[in-house]
Structure 1
Amino acid sequence: MVTIETIETFIVDVPTIRQHVLAMATMRTQAMVFVHVRCSDGVEGIGEGTTIGGLSYGDESPEGIKLTIDRHVAPLLHGSDASPARATMLLRKSIVGNHFAKNAVETALFDAAGKRAGVPVSELLGGRVRDRLPVLWTLASGDTARDIAEAETMIDQRRHKAFKLKIGKRDLVEDVAHVAAIKRALGDQASIRVDVNQAWDEATAKRGVAMLADADVDLIEQPISGANVSGMARLTAMGRTAIMADEGLRGPIDALRHATDAAADVFAVKIAQSGGLRAGAAVAGIAEVAGIGLYGGTMLEGPIGSIASAHLFATFAGLAFGTELFGPLLLAEDLLAEPLDYTEFSLAVPSGPGLGLTLDMEKVRAFRRDGDRRTVISISKAVGA
C-alpha cells in the first residue's frame, strides 16, 4: 500500500493585472495556498486552496486553509492510504466543513495518483470528452468605457467572447445601465452575463431580473443570498432569463435541494466550494439528472486549482454555459514553467500525467509569504524520473 509521508503548505501572494471589483470586496492581489504531498513510493502531488476576497466572500481564508491542513489534516493523513478516495473518506469522517482545505489536499492526491498511473487526472474522473474548454472573462473594473475597451481587445485577440460583469455594489438602475451599455456596444459578438454575488434582496432581484432580461443578458448568477433557496426558485420561475446558483451550492446536498426545489436553471460547479473533485462531480451529476445546465466555475484559482477544475469539467457531457477558468490570466506573473494554452476562446486541458503542469519554482519562491528560499523538489517528478 502506498501511503502519505508528508503534506506541506505555503502561501503565495501574487498581484493581479488590474483591480477586480466584486460586490463585497475589491481584489488587487490573490493569495493562494499551495499544498505539496509526498508519498511513500516517492511520487509527489500538488494542490491549491484559494478563495476570493478573504473572509468577505466565505468562511475560509488562506491563513485558515493553511492552518487547517497543517494542524489537522496532515497529522490525520500521515501514514494513511494515498488513494484519493480513501483519504477523502477519512477527512469527511473526521473534519466538518473546511471544503477548500479538503479540496486542496484531494487535488494533490489526484495529481500524485495520475502520475503514478501515467494518466491525466481527467481519466481518473471518468475520462474526458473534450480537450478544450470555452472560457469567459470577467469585466470587473466598474468603468463602462474601460470594460467595453477590454472586451473588444479580448475578442480581437480571440481569447474570450463571453463576458461576466460583477454588479450589486451600486444602485440597481446604475448597474443595469452599465450592463446594458456594454451589451449594446458588443452586440451579437459576445454573450453577456452578470454576477450579483448575493448582493440583492428578493424584491430588488425581481426588478433586476426583469430589467436585465430586457437588456438581453444571458445569465444572472446568484442574485440573492445562497441560503434563500425558496427565493431562488421564485426568481427562476419568472422565466425571464437563466438564473444560476453559485454560493448556494456547498456540495451535493445543496445541489439536491436546489434541483428538488427547481431553484436554478444552471449550476456553477466549483471544486473548492463543493469540497473536492469527487464532490464537484457529484454536484454535476445531480444537475445532469435534473436537466439543469452546467457552468464551470472558479474561485479565481491560480494554475493548479484552475487546471484541476479543467480536468473535471472536461469529463462533463454537457457544458452549455462554458467555464470561467481565467484565474491564471488575472495574475501579474505566470507561475508555470510552460504557460497554459488560452487560444481560440478556450483553454487546452493538459494531457500529461496527473495535472500535467510544472511550476516555475523560482517564481513561486519570489511570491512566498514566508520568504522561504529553500530548494523545493519539482512537482513534475513522476515514477522513475
Structure 2
Amino acid sequence: MMNPYIPDRITWIGLRSVELPLSQAVSDAKVATGRQKPLESVSLLFAEIETSQGHSGLGFSYGLRTGGPAQYAHAQEIAPLLIGEDPNDISRLWSKMVWASASVGRGGVAAQAIASIDTALWDLKARRAALPLSKLLGARRSAVPCYNTSGGYLQASIEEIVDKATQSRELGIGGIKMKVGQPDRRTDLQRVEALRKHLGEQVPLMVDVNQQWDRITALRMGRELEQYQLEWIEEPLDAHDVAGHAALAAQLDTPVGTGEMLTSAAEALGYVDSGAVDVIMHDAPRLGGITPFLKVANAAEQRGMIMAPHFVMEIHLHLAAAYEHQTWVEHFEWLEPAFNERLEIRDGQMIVPDRPGLGLSLSEKVSGWTQAQIEIGKRA
C-alpha cells in the first residue's frame, strides 16, 4: 500500500532584481523607426522558493528597456501570500496571485511578476520528482530544432550578419533569423537576399519585422519575400491586430507568426482560437508563467499549429519538448552569464538537459548585477 501524500509548505521566497548588461547594444526595427532606443541590458526578476520538506525551485521573468523595477515591486506584494501554501497546488496559487493583482489587471507587469514565481513552482515540482521539467510535462522529444536571432539585428552590417550566421551554423544551430522593418524596404530586401544567397536554399531562414509594417506594406513585402522560401515572417503588424494577421496569413504562402508581445493567455488564445496565424510565438514570462503558457500550447495543439516560443530558451526548451507538433526554440546567448549551466546544441537542435527541473543555478556574476533583493519568510 502506498503512503498517503503529506502536504508540503512554502516557508521562504527570495526575490532578486538583476540588470544583466549586453556585450553590445542591439537595435531592431522599433529603433530604426524612432520608437525605441537601442537595447543595452536585460532586466531579470529571479524568484527562489524553499519548502518545509527541504525542496527548492528557481524561476525568472524579464523586462526589456523598461518594467524590471516594477516587476520586482509587484512580486514583493504578492509573494507573502504564498507563505504556508502547498507548492504543488500550482494552478490554485497562480489564480490566487492573479486575483491579488486584480486592480492592476491580468497582463503586463503584474503577469510578468507572477511568472517568476509560477516558474519557480514548476521547477520545484520537477526537482521534487527528480525529473527534467520536460519529462514532468510529458516530453515528446529529447531535442528541439533551434535558430539564432542574436546575430541578426539591424545595427549590424550585412557582412556582420553573414559572419554571425556562419558562426551559428558552425555551433550546430539549425536556422537563422534576421531583423527587417526598416523605413527603406529595398534595404530589407537586399539584406535578406544576401543572407539567403550565403546560406543556400536548404538552411531555414526567418525574418522579424517587430510590428513595423501596416497592412498594405506587409502584403506587398510578404509577396516580395516569397521568393526566399522563408520559414516564417514574424510580427509583420501590430501585435494586437488579430484580423490583420489573419488576412495576411490567408494571402501569403509564407507562414506568418506572432505572439511575443502578448501579456495574457486570453490575448494569445485570440490568435490561436481564430487561426489568425500559422506560427504561435508566445512567451511564458510575459504571459504570466508556465501555467498560462501551457493553456495556449494545449489550444494550439488542437489546431495543429507550429509553435516557436519567444526568447528565454532556458525555459522554453522544456516546454517545446512537450509540444505535439512542429516546434522551434530561439537561441539567444544573452542570459548565459546568469547561469552556471550551458545548453548543448548539436546537428541543428538544442538538447533538452537531463538535470532535474529547469536544470539551472545562478552564477556568482549575478551578485554583481543585483539591484535589489529581499527574503520573505524563514529558511529551514
| TM-score (norm: length of structure 1) | 0.85
Residue 273 (structure 1) aligned with residue 279 (structure 2): no
Residue 130 (structure 1) aligned with residue 133 (structure 2): no
Distance change (3 Å), C-alpha of 1:359 and 1:260: closer
| Counterparts of 1:44 and 1:50, CA distance in 2 | 21
What is the deviation of 1:131?
1.4
Which of 55, 58, 61 aligns to 1:49? It is 61
Which of 352, 356, 377 aligns to 2:355? It is 352
User: Are the counterparts in 2 of residues 229 and 248 from structure 1 also a CA contact under 8 Å?
Assistant: no
Residue 246 (structure 1) aligned with residue 249 (structure 2): no
Which of 12, 30, 41 aligns to 2:42? It is 30
Q: How does 1:163-174 map to 2 (within 5 A)?
A: 163-174=176-187
| Counterparts of 1:181 and 1:242, CA distance in 2 | 21
What is the deviation of 1:249?
4.2
User: Are the counterparts in 1 of residues 316 and 329 from structure 2 also a CA contact under 8 Å?
Assistant: no
Which residue matches 2:4?
none
| Counterparts of 1:2 and 1:69, CA distance in 2 | 22
> How many residues are treated as equivalent by the alignment?
355
Which of 79, 82, 91 aligns to 1:85? It is 91
Which residue matches 1:104?
116
Which residue matches 1:210?
223
Deviation string 1:262-294 (CA, Å, 9 cap, x unpaired) is 311111132123322121111112112123221
| Counterparts of 2:202 and 2:229, CA distance in 1 | 13
User: Are the counterparts in 2 of residues 166 and 196 from structure 1 also a CA contact under 8 Å?
Assistant: yes
User: Are the counterparts in 2 of residues 225 and 248 from structure 1 also a CA contact under 8 Å?
Assistant: no
What is the deviation of 1:38?
1.9
User: 3-state DSSP class of the match of 1:136?
Assistant: strand
| Counterparts of 1:18 and 1:336, CA distance in 2 | 19
CA RMSD in angstroms comes to 2.4
Which of 327, 331, 334 aligns to 1:330? It is 334
What is the deviation of 1:158?
3.6
Residue 192 (structure 1) aligned with residue 196 (structure 2): no
Which residue matches 2:23?
17
User: 3-state DSSP class of the match of 2:371?
Assistant: coil
What is the deviation of 1:220?
0.5
User: 3-state DSSP class of the match of 1:12?
Assistant: strand
| Counterparts of 1:123 and 1:175, CA distance in 2 | 41
User: 3-state DSSP class of the match of 1:48?
Assistant: strand
User: Are the counterparts in 2 of residues 167 and 196 from structure 1 also a CA contact under 8 Å?
Assistant: yes
| Counterparts of 1:256 and 1:15, CA distance in 2 | 33
What is the deviation of 1:176?
2.1
Letter in 2 for 1:109: L
| TM-score (norm: length of structure 2) | 0.86
| Counterparts of 1:197 and 1:220, CA distance in 2 | 10
Runs of at least 5 residues in structure 2 that lack an aligned partner in the other structure: 1-6, 31-36
User: Are the counterparts in 2 of residues 255 and 287 from structure 1 also a CA contact under 8 Å?
Assistant: no
User: 3-state DSSP class of the match of 2:297?
Assistant: helix
User: 3-state DSSP class of the match of 1:356?
Assistant: coil
Residue 2 (structure 1) aligned with residue 8 (structure 2): yes
Which of 313, 327, 340 aligns to 2:320? It is 313
What is the deviation of 1:106?
0.7
What is the deviation of 1:163?
1.0
Deviation string 1:74-100 (CA, Å, 9 cap, x unpaired) is 122222221222211212333232221
| Counterparts of 1:253 and 1:289, CA distance in 2 | 16
| Counterparts of 1:115 and 1:43, CA distance in 2 | 8
Deviation string 1:188-247 (CA, Å, 9 cap, x unpaired) is 252111111111111211111111113332210111112211111110110331001224
Letter in 1 for 2:349: S
Residue 261 (structure 1) aligned with residue 274 (structure 2): yes
Distance change (3 Å), C-alpha of 1:248 and 1:49: closer
User: 3-state DSSP class of the match of 2:338?
Assistant: coil
| Counterparts of 2:229 and 2:350, CA distance in 1 | 26
User: 3-state DSSP class of the match of 2:96?
Assistant: helix
Which residue matches 1:57?
none
What is the deviation of 1:46?
0.9
User: 3-state DSSP class of the match of 1:240?
Assistant: coil
| Counterparts of 1:334 and 1:343, CA distance in 2 | 21
